[in-house]
A and B are shown apart, each in its own frame.
Chain A
């Protein structure tokens, strides 16, 4: 066997496993997903009919889908509003604070905890019967602020978003912190010599320095906000009624509760398209700002 042939065989065999796994677990299911989205399959029966793009038409004509998407949008907006705050915290943690390592650990902690545990912790905190949150508000004399956190249709989404913030903000802070630590210190020193204030340094050195991280966090945010599932599913099952149903909760119910695999597949594809489209738009915006 010549050396080049041997080399080719090695390369081929090394690539065989990952590529076959990719084909089996990603490409094939995706192709099947596209196939099911064009059918009326109920998820159980042995036969199905092709119905063209009816599922996609139906998805866009269903008010509940838009309601669910608007709930997702709320997660997205609130998370975006909090990004500047997360950067601020990262900047503070980046300085020579006493026990900054301890604070970094604390900030990162919520992200490590299992999502199911988080949901149960907050379900307990929001509990209407002797729940700690309402009890605390009563004790400090803020009785008027007590809410039906998970059962008032106007409040429930904000209660759930608070959980989402608590869980993911720390992770974002750590990402920003890593970005800030990669900025060479002499840039700041040079700016100090030129007489730049703290705000100027932040505006012209820190932010451009971590623009890639901001881009990443924004992408994670789009993806996370559109796919948010475990918090509403575990804490309210999308209730009361459909008040806190998100797009993925709705998709899951369509497939498993109402036996409409075709429509659920179409919804999954729509979600994929939305994420890709929003990421492209955001890339363009960042480019304009970054250049």
Chain B
């Protein structure tokens, strides 16, 4: 190789290197997050220098929903804020499932790149409180019926958008065919399911045990409900051994074991996914299924109407002398990122988002109950349910920071425990194991 050839080669290489590095730097200069889950490219709004009186601002908002129609509704809705406040554009990033969403948000939290406004579940508030701005002073906060319940150390970090009851759904025609009454106590509930099993025509209860989470009406909610204490989870964090014999947990899990051991969930509840379970219920191969009100749109879209759909509160109580409670869940919390560059605009957006006329369209589309005073949801089926079931609501409140700390340390996953129970694990063994780990983690 001649010297000049090497020289030329070097020149070319240098040019290449320079171009590679400038390209790389150019990419870094753009803010990340350029595409959302739907594959739409988000147009980057260049911030104009402050020679205009008001600069143009883009707010990023993130949420998840399993229902595509609702995502489409909200994506369009947030753009309307631009008409109220021409300098602010709101862009929505959506996810299909809370698992993916949570993982993405955790990664972004560690990299300080959370969206300006983002959705949360009540049991995530403790984890994200460092990344949320207190919003006690917003006007809409005072209108929210549940926000204060979820305050942490006196600060409200996010506003719940909806509340809904947790229900047991049943096919009315099957109950009529077999002459069954709606059960109001736990033993009655198991009896009804056994009667359906004895008839041998239908699967009594459709359990999507393969996915673990569908057992939450039992493994997550039952001990909480029979404790009678909305703050039950936080109070377990003050005890050394909250799982042993004689505790609420033990009583609750023994009740669950009675149900699982009655073998009323079809041939293989642990092998059946939630989608398969809902298909069994919708196609009337199964008689009963339990879930939150959010199951309604799924049912209506598959069946076309709700004529044959009945519902009753899950009868956690053992006897009729105890009060029957209706587990009520608040969800779809929205909070403001503590590191947002546009706190004033984000707060203005929240005020607009939860103003009565905008919020009304939100809950009417979600088909769930209102979380704000002065706004009522137009869900006829639900209003009918409340009229025929005048029951006191029991609000699910997640555990406090200490509870979160201990349960993370021992990797407590009650839904996995439910799977273990369906596979035959004894309550006494579960309780002994949990007590040992809990005590060590609490005092360790």
Interface residues of A (CB under 8 A from B): 1, 3, 6-7, 9-10, 13-14, 16-17, 42-46, 64, 126-129, 148-153, 236-237, 239-243, 253-254, 256-260
Contacts and interface: CB of A to CB of B under 8 A. Distances in A.
Contacts of B424: 153
Nearest to A252: B103
Nearest to A61: B440
A143 to B, nearest CB: 13
22 contacts: A3-B3, A9-B10, A10-B13, A17-B17, A45-B130, A126-B271, A128-B272, A129-B271, A149-B271, A150-B270, A151-B270, A151-B271, A151-B423, A236-B210, A239-B419, A240-B210, A240-B422, A241-B416, A253-B411, A254-B411, A256-B102, A258-B409
B65 interface: no
B375 interface: no
Interface string B405-422: 000110101001101101
Contacts of B17: 13, 16-17
B26 interface: no
A43 B106 contact: yes
Given A6-B6, A10-B10, A128-B272, A44 B127 contact: yes
B6 A128 contact: no
A258 B423 contact: no
Interface of B: 3, 6-7, 9-10, 13-14, 17, 20, 102-103, 106, 109-110, 127-128, 130-131, 209-212, 267-272, 276, 280, 408-409, 411, 413, 416-417, 419-420, 422-425
Given A17-B17, A151-B271, A256 B130 contact: no
Per DSSP, chain B at the interface is helix
Nearest to B107: A43
Q: Give me the 4 closest cross-chain CB pairs, A-B, nearest first.
A: A151-B270, A241-B420, A128-B271, A128-B268
Contacts, number: 102
Nearest to B203: A129
A129 B103 CA distance: 32
A254 B408 CA distance: 8
A62 B131 CA distance: 31
B342 to A, nearest CB: 21
B110 A260 contact: no
Nearest to B267: A128
Given A13-B14, A259-B106, 6 more contacts: A42-B408, A44-B127, A129-B271, A129-B280, A240-B210, A242-B420
Contact of A13 (B7, B13, B267, B411): B13
Nearest to B421: A241
B416 A239 contact: yes
A148 B270 contact: yes
Given A46-B130, A151-B271, A254-B411, A241 B106 contact: no
A258 B413 CA distance: 9
B419 A129 contact: no
Contacts of B210: 150-151, 236, 239-240
A256 B103 contact: yes
A260 B128 CA distance: 15
B271 A7 contact: no
A129 B276 contact: yes
Contacts of B109: 44
A151 to B, nearest CB: 3
A241 B272 contact: no
B423 A241 contact: yes
**Of listed A13, A128, A242, residue having the most chain B CB within 10 A:** A128
Contact of A44 (B128, B267, B276): B128
Nearest to A254: B411
Given A13-B14, A151-B210, A6 B271 contact: no
A129 B281 CA distance: 14
A70 B128 CA distance: 35
A241 B212 CA distance: 8
Contacts of A42: 127, 408
Given A241-B416, A260-B409, A127 B271 contact: yes
A64 B413 CA distance: 13
A24 B424 CA distance: 49
Contacts of B413: 257
Contacts of A128: 267-268, 271-272
Contact of B110 (A44, A129, A236): A44
Contacts of A64: 411
Most buried by B among A129, A149, A259: A129
Contacts of B130: 44-46
B409 to A, nearest CB: 7
A149 B10 CA distance: 62
B384 to A, nearest CB: 33
A243 B212 CA distance: 13
Nearest to A16: B17
